Chain A
Amino acid sequence: MAELEAVIGLEIHVQLATRTKMFCGCELSFGDEPNVHTCPICLAHPGVLPVPNEQAIRYALQIGLALECEIAPWSIFHRKNYFYPDSPKAYQISQYDIPICGAGRLGDVRIHRAHLEEDAAKMVHVGTSGRIHGSGASLVDFNRGGTPLVEIVTEPDLRGAAEAAEWARLLRETVRQLGVSDVNMEEGSLRVDANVSVRPAGSEELGTKTELKNMNSFRFLQRGIEAELTRQREIVESGGTVTQETLHFDPAGGTLTPLRSKEEAHDYRYFPEPDLVPLAPTEEMLREAREALPELPAARIARYEGLGLAPEVALTLATDPETAGYFEQTAEAADGIEPRVVANWVTGELAAALRQAGVEGGATASKVSPQFLAELVRLVQEKKISHGSGKTVLAKLVEEGGDPAAIVEREGLAQISGDGELAAIVEKAMADNADAVEKVREGNGKAIGAIVGAVMRETKGRADGGEVNRLIRERL
Chain B
Amino acid sequence: MSELLSLSGVEALRQIDAGELSGDELFSAYVEAAAGDELGAYLWRAEPGRPGCAGHGDGPLAGIPVAVKDIFCTEGVPTTAGSRILEGYRPPYTATAVQRLTDAGARVLGKTNMDEFAMGSSNENSAYGPVLNPWDRERVPGGSSGGSAAVVAGGLAPWSIGTDTGGSIRQPAAFCGIVGLKPTYGAVSRYGMIAFASSLDQCGPLTRTVSDAALLLGILQGRDPLDSTSVGIDGGISLPDREDLSGLRFGVPAELARDAVDSGVRTIFEQTLQKIEELGGEIAEVSLPSAEHGISAYYVIAPAEASSNLARYDGVRYGMRAGGDGDLIEMYETTRSQGFGAEVKRRIMLGTYALSSGYYEAYYGQAQKVRTRIAQDFSGAFEAVDFVVTPTAPSVAFKLGEKTDDPLAMYMNDFFTVPMSLAGIPAISIPAGLAEPDGGGPRLPVGFQIAAPAFAEQRLLDAAYALERGIGFDARPGGANG
Please list the residues of chain A having a beta carbon within 8 angstroms of any beta carbon in chain B.
40, 43-52, 79, 81, 83, 85, 88-91, 131-133, 135, 138, 140, 267, 269-271, 274-277
Which residue in chain B gives the minimum CB-CB distance to A131?
B325
Interface flags, B358-379, vs A, CB<8A=1, else 0:
0010001000000000000000
Identify which of A43, A45, A47, A138 gathers the most chain B CB atoms within 10 Å of its CB: A47
Alpha-carbon distance between A169 and B361 when the two chains are bound, in angstroms: 41
- Residue from the list A49, A79, A89, A91 in contact with B228, Cβ < 8 A: A49
Q: Which of B332-364 contact A (CB under 8 A)?
A: 332, 352, 355-357, 360, 364
B136 at interface by CB-CB < 8 Å: no
Interface flags, B80-107, vs A, CB<8A=1, else 0:
0100001001011101000000000000
Q: Which residues of A contact B307 (CB under 8 A)?
A: 269
Q: Are B95 and A47 in contact (CB under 8 A)?
A: yes
Q: Which residues of B contact A270 (CB under 8 A)?
A: 355, 360
Q: Which residues of B contact A52 (CB under 8 A)?
A: 228
Q: A45-B92, A132-B325 are in contact. Are A274 and B318 (CB under 8 A)?
A: no
Q: Which residues of A contact B318 (CB under 8 A)?
A: 43, 45
B34 at interface by CB-CB < 8 Å: no
- Residue from the list B86, B357, B360 in contact with A46, Cβ < 8 A: B86
Alpha-carbon distance between A275 and B304 when the two chains are bound, in angstroms: 14
Task: Decide if the interface of chain B is mainly helix, strand, loop or mixed.
Answer: loop
Q: A47-B191, A269-B352 are in contact. Are A40 and B325 (CB under 8 A)?
A: no
Alpha-carbon distance between A47 and B310 when the two chains are bound, in angstroms: 11
Q: Which residues of A contact B92 (CB under 8 A)?
A: 40, 45
Q: Are A275 and B225 in contact (CB under 8 A)?
A: no
Q: A81-B355, A131-B325, A275-B228 are in contact. Are A47 and B312 (CB under 8 A)?
A: no
Alpha-carbon distance between A36 and B391 when the two chains are bound, in angstroms: 53
Q: Which residues of A contact B249 (CB under 8 A)?
A: none
Q: Which residues of B contact A275 (CB under 8 A)?
A: 198, 227-229
- Residue from the list A46, A51, A138 in contact with B312, Cβ < 8 A: A46
Q: Are B314 and A135 in contact (CB under 8 A)?
A: no
Q: A44-B312, A81-B355 are in contact. Are A49 and B73 (CB under 8 A)?
A: no
Q: Are A271 and B360 in contact (CB under 8 A)?
A: yes
Nearest-neighbour CB distance to chain A for B152, whole angstroms, equals 23
Nearest-neighbour CB distance to chain B for A243, whole angstroms, equals 21
Q: Are B73 and A45 in contact (CB under 8 A)?
A: yes
Q: A46-B73, A271-B355 are in contact. Are A88 and B228 (CB under 8 A)?
A: no
Q: Which residues of B contact A83 (CB under 8 A)?
A: 311, 314, 332
Q: Are A88 and B93 in contact (CB under 8 A)?
A: no
Alpha-carbon distance between A49 and B228 when the two chains are bound, in angstroms: 8
Q: Which residues of B contact A267 (CB under 8 A)?
A: 356-357
Interface flags, B153-195, vs A, CB<8A=1, else 0:
0000000000000000000000000000000000000111111
Identify which of B190, B312, B356 gathers the most chain A CB atoms within 10 Å of its CB: B312
Q: A40-B92, A43-B317, A46-B79 are in contact. Are A51 and B226 (CB under 8 A)?
A: yes
Which residue in chain A gives the minimum CB-CB distance to B89?
A46
Alpha-carbon distance between A131 and B326 when the two chains are bound, in angstroms: 9
Nearest-neighbour CB distance to chain B for A122, whole angstroms, equals 14
Which residue in chain B gives the minimum CB-CB distance to A265?
B357
Q: Are B316 and A269 in contact (CB under 8 A)?
A: no
Q: Are A133 and B326 in contact (CB under 8 A)?
A: yes
Q: Are A276 and B79 in contact (CB under 8 A)?
A: no
A48-B191, A49-B190, A91-B308 given; 19 more Cβ-contact pairs under 8 Å: A45-B91, A45-B317, A46-B91, A46-B312, A47-B73, A47-B190, A47-B192, A47-B195, A85-B316, A90-B308, A269-B352, A269-B357, A270-B355, A271-B305, A274-B198, A274-B229, A275-B198, A275-B229, A276-B228
Which residue in chain A gives the minimum CB-CB distance to B315?
A85
Q: Which residues of A contact B328 (CB under 8 A)?
A: 85, 138
- Residue from the list B305, B312, B352 in contact with A89, Cβ < 8 A: B312
Alpha-carbon distance between A85 and B335 when the two chains are bound, in angstroms: 14
A-B contact pairs, 8 of them (CB 8 A): A40-B91, A46-B194, A47-B192, A49-B191, A79-B308, A88-B312, A90-B314, A271-B360
Q: Are A47 and B228 in contact (CB under 8 A)?
A: no
Which residue in chain B gives the minimum CB-CB distance to A23?
B228
Alpha-carbon distance between A192 and B193 when the two chains are bound, in angstroms: 39
Q: Which residues of B contact A44 (CB under 8 A)?
A: 312, 317
Nearest-neighbour CB distance to chain A for B311, whole angstroms, equals 3
Which residue in chain A gives the minimum CB-CB distance to B230?
A49
Alpha-carbon distance between A79 and B355 when the two chains are bound, in angstroms: 11
- Residue from the list B86, B317, B355 in contact with A269, Cβ < 8 A: B355
Q: Which residues of B contact A91 (CB under 8 A)?
A: 308, 311
B327 at interface by CB-CB < 8 Å: yes
Which residue in chain A gives the minimum CB-CB distance to B355?
A269
Which residue in chain B gives the minimum CB-CB distance to A129?
B325
Which residue in chain A gives the minimum CB-CB distance to B353?
A269
Q: Which residues of B contact A135 (CB under 8 A)?
A: 327
B22 at interface by CB-CB < 8 Å: no
Alpha-carbon distance between A88 and B95 when the two chains are bound, in angstroms: 20
Q: Are B229 and A277 in contact (CB under 8 A)?
A: yes
Q: A40-B91, A88-B312, A274-B305 are in contact. Are A46 and B81 (CB under 8 A)?
A: yes
Alpha-carbon distance between A40 and B304 when the two chains are bound, in angstroms: 24
Q: Which residues of A contact B316 (CB under 8 A)?
A: 85, 88, 140
Nearest-neighbour CB distance to chain B for A141, whole angstroms, equals 12
Q: Are A81 and B93 in contact (CB under 8 A)?
A: no
B290 at interface by CB-CB < 8 Å: no
Identify which of A131, A132, A271 gathers the most chain B CB atoms within 10 Å of its CB: A271
Q: Which of B210-248 contact A (CB under 8 A)?
A: 225-229
Which residue in chain B gives the minimum CB-CB distance to A43?
B317
Q: Are A133 and B325 in contact (CB under 8 A)?
A: yes
Alpha-carbon distance between A52 and B199 when the two chains are bound, in angstroms: 18
- Residue from the list A48, A90, A269, A274 in contact with B356, Cβ < 8 A: A269
Alpha-carbon distance between A295 and B229 when the two chains are bound, in angstroms: 38
Alpha-carbon distance between A274 and B227 when the two chains are bound, in angstroms: 11
Identify which of A50, A81, A270 gathers the most chain B CB atoms within 10 Å of its CB: A81
Alpha-carbon distance between A52 and B226 when the two chains are bound, in angstroms: 10
Q: Which residues of B contact A46 (CB under 8 A)?
A: 73, 79, 81, 86, 89, 91, 194-195, 312-313
Identify which of A49, A83, A89, A135 gathers the most chain B CB atoms within 10 Å of its CB: A49
Nearest-neighbour CB distance to chain B for A35, whole angstroms, equals 10
Q: Are A88 and B317 in contact (CB under 8 A)?
A: yes
Q: A46-B81, A47-B194 are in contact. Are A271 and B304 (CB under 8 A)?
A: yes
Q: Which residues of A contact B332 (CB under 8 A)?
A: 83
Alpha-carbon distance between A271 and B305 when the two chains are bound, in angstroms: 9
Alpha-carbon distance between A51 and B314 when the two chains are bound, in angstroms: 23
Identify which of B199, B316, B326, B356 gathers the most chain A CB atoms within 10 Å of its CB: B316
Nearest-neighbour CB distance to chain A for B134, whole angstroms, equals 29
Nearest-neighbour CB distance to chain B for A27, whole angstroms, equals 18
Q: Which residues of B contact A40 (CB under 8 A)?
A: 91-93
Q: Which residues of A contact B357 (CB under 8 A)?
A: 267, 269
Q: Which residues of A contact B305 (CB under 8 A)?
A: 271, 274
Alpha-carbon distance between A275 and B328 when the two chains are bound, in angstroms: 29
Nearest-neighbour CB distance to chain A for B142, whole angstroms, equals 23
- Residue from the list B86, B95, B190, B312 in contact with A90, Cβ < 8 A: B312
Q: Which residues of A contact B325 (CB under 8 A)?
A: 131-133
Q: Which residues of B contact A51 (CB under 8 A)?
A: 225-228
Q: Are B308 and A49 in contact (CB under 8 A)?
A: no
Nearest-neighbour CB distance to chain A for B53, whole angstroms, equals 15
Alpha-carbon distance between A83 and B328 when the two chains are bound, in angstroms: 10
Alpha-carbon distance between A79 and B360 when the two chains are bound, in angstroms: 14
Alpha-carbon distance between A269 and B311 when the two chains are bound, in angstroms: 12
Alpha-carbon distance between A40 and B312 when the two chains are bound, in angstroms: 12
